[in-house]
Chains A and B, each alone.
Chain A
Amino acid sequence: MSSTATTVARPTGKPPATPRLRPPRRNAPRRSPRSILLTALTGVVLLYSLLPLLWLLISATKSQQGLARSFGLWFDGDFALWDNIVETFTYNDGVFGRWLLNTALYVVVGAGGATFLAVLGGYALAKFDFPGKRAVFAVVIGAVAVPGTALAVPTFLMFSKMGLTDTPWAVIIPSLISPFGLYLMWVFATEAIPGELMEAARIDGASEVRTFFQVALPLLAPGTVTVLLFTTVATWNNYFLPLIMLKNPDWYPLTLGLDSWNKQAATAGGEAVFNLVITGSLLTIAPLIAAFLLLQKYWQSGLAAGSVKE
């Protein structure tokens, strides 16, 4: 399927100029009077995107009883956000905090590792010609089409042979692979690292490893941030794989933990804690949203740069 990649090129067909990484500079301003109508229309989509988040935010301020008795998009008389947060962190001996730390671990090692592997691999694909190169990418893309559930049981059996199930490794190792990250870094590295620069480094007698770390890596920084953010989301949101691999709630990531709290209401003798599920959901997405907002500049420029091509 690497042919996908090659045939998608835009039909403008100009030969590649020098790599361009400066922020795109167009948007002819004088032809663009602001339009209230267009803003209002786009506002509908905006509302659609934000309303559920608003619901979540408001619901997180309600107690279990308050949830049942008040209107979904307005506050209940009894403002319980703080109580909910405290209870979320103390319920079941504070297991939520543990899940948060687990998730952080999976993100740091899993997403960090995935990004590193993708940067290395993308660099290789972009800057080296080696036997089997086309095959590598074809196989990677082809594998994306196979349903994840197909791999779940075999992976589980394999991992349990190796003694990895019910350990953090069972979650981390599979998240080390990001086909999209590899792709993005390939595109990005092709544009970002001038061949001349590498050539110069080689002539200076720098080893390949040194060339990579000292010449290539700094140039790849914006793309790296982008890939890191996307692998972070993927790892943070990971649900299906931990569901199969982990039995011990002490190793759950947040998603699995919340799901187990939600399911708890449906067991004989179990306690319904919908208010904690809702507050926990809010606490789960808050760090990600914060990361996206704070790092906006970086990942957006990485993404835009990634799409610079001819």
Chain B
Amino acid sequence: MTTMQPPAAARPRPTGPPVRPIRGTRRSWTGWGFIGPFVLVFALVFLAPLAYSGYLSLFRTQLIGGTTFVGLDNYQQALQDGRFWEGVARVGLFLAVQVPIMLGLALLVALALDSGRLYGKDFFRIAVFLPYAVPAVVATLMWGFMYGTRFGLVGDINDAFGAKLPDPLSPDLLLASIGNIVTWEFIGYNMLIFYSALRVIPHSLYEAAEIDGAGQWRVISAIKLPAIRGALVIATIFSIIGSFQLFNEPSILQKLAPNVITTDYTPNYYTYSLSFSGQQHNYSATVAIVMGLLTMIVAYVVQLRGMRKGA
């Protein structure tokens, strides 16, 4: 359930776990003794609620009239729900713009660190990573203060320099402002994943390139990038999941931009509003399940494409 917290995170998993015959083991039930505790808690906090969501999605409860079984009606409603799809389109846009920027910057910093051409490399590495230690709540509160056009930093800059910075919380800019917060939180994190993957590229590969007289850029495009493709794909997939689950940032900024951040701003926020403001637990569960399926499909497609290019 750690997935409930920081969105847009890419877990550092540069490459996949090796699935190959394990030396010195035989197929037996012993492994369950070790993984059992994890699975048990997992079943309690993930599977049981998930099953219950599925169950809920087949019913409808009314303030007047109680609960009735409605079969797949809720799913039909969700597929035709404009408010839901608008939210999906919004996070889709967010994803298409924010994720490449964030991962691109993270990659550039990782490559710069790895090139060995930076002054004060260690300081760079830890400093860029620090925002990851800031809770999403604190990050959003902080940026929310700074976004203020009067009291905040934006207002200060306008006053001090006679500048006319636009209001970051206006309808046109709000999504970008959220993107900025998420980018700030997770650049360092992704950078570290890429950097870790870069560091373990076998030295022999560089030696070969050196003999061929390849320049820095050539080394990056021919050796480094292909070598960390796995890390890139995984970071992308987890950023996609994070974007689709966008919740903390909009829900805290909502107070500052109530007319822009509607209760259906992101699909996740929509399920939250349905459940907690509207008491529509059944429909909320349905929307969440549809969104979960959608996320899995997109992640899967990205993974397939990412891999095919590499082959």
Binding site for B on A (CB under 8 A): 1-2, 4-12, 16, 24-29, 31-36, 38-39, 41-42, 45-46, 48-50, 52-53, 55-56, 59, 67-68, 71-73, 114, 117-118, 120-121, 123-133, 136, 139-140, 142-155, 157-158, 173-180, 182-184, 186-187, 190, 195-196, 198-199, 202, 208, 212, 231, 233-234, 236-241, 254-256, 258-259, 262-263, 266, 274, 277-278, 281, 284-285, 288-289, 291-293, 296, 300, 303-304, 306-310
Contacts and interface: CB of A to CB of B under 8 A. Distances in A.
Interface string B57-72: 0000000000000000
B38 A147 contact: no
A52 B16 contact: no
25 contacts: A26-B201, A34-B117, A41-B112, A46-B124, A125-B31, A130-B29, A144-B241, A145-B292, A146-B292, A147-B245, A147-B271, A147-B295, A148-B3, A150-B50, A150-B271, A158-B49, A174-B1, A177-B38, A190-B17, A190-B18, A195-B24, A234-B6, A288-B134, A289-B130, A307-B196
Given A187-B17, A285-B134, A131 B29 contact: yes
A309 B17 CA distance: 8
A284 B135 contact: yes
Interface string B1-28: 1111110000111111111101111111
B33 A208 contact: yes
Given A8-B15, A128-B28, A240-B248, A262 B22 contact: no
B129 A292 contact: yes
A34 B146 CA distance: 35
Interface string B94-127: 0000000000010011001111111110001011
B16 A147 contact: no
A155 B42 CA distance: 12
Closest 4 CB pairs of A and B: A150-B288, A128-B31, A148-B4, A5-B16
A8 B117 contact: no
B4 A146 contact: no
Given A130-B30, A151-B49, A187-B17, A33 B307 contact: no
Contact of B16 (A6, A208, A274, A277): A6
Given A4-B237, A143-B50, A129 B130 contact: no
B307 A125 contact: no
A281 B141 contact: yes
B252 A124 contact: no
Given A126-B22, A127-B25, A292-B129, A237 B50 contact: no
B162 interface: no
A196 B24 CA distance: 7
- Which one of A45, A118, A277, A289 has the greatest number of beta carbons of chain B within 10 Å? A45
A152 B126 CA distance: 34
A128 B1 contact: no
Contacts of A153: 275, 281, 284-285
Contact of B27 (A34, A125, A129, A173): A129
B237 A72 contact: no
A52 B5 contact: no
Contacts of B133: 233, 285, 288-289, 291-292
A71 B156 contact: yes
Interface of B: 1-6, 11-20, 22-35, 37-39, 41-42, 44-50, 52-53, 56, 105, 108-109, 112-120, 124, 126-139, 141-143, 145-146, 151-153, 156-157, 160, 184, 187-188, 192-193, 196-197, 199-203, 206, 210, 226-231, 233-234, 237, 241, 244-245, 247-248, 252, 255, 267-268, 271-272, 275, 281, 284-285, 288-289, 291-292, 295-296, 299-300, 303, 307, 310-311
B201 to A, nearest CB: 7
B187 A240 contact: no
A55 B153 contact: yes
Contacts of A292: 126, 129-130, 133
Contacts of A231: 2
B5 A238 contact: yes
Contacts of B152: 72
A208 B30 contact: yes
A182 B38 contact: yes
B35 A125 contact: yes
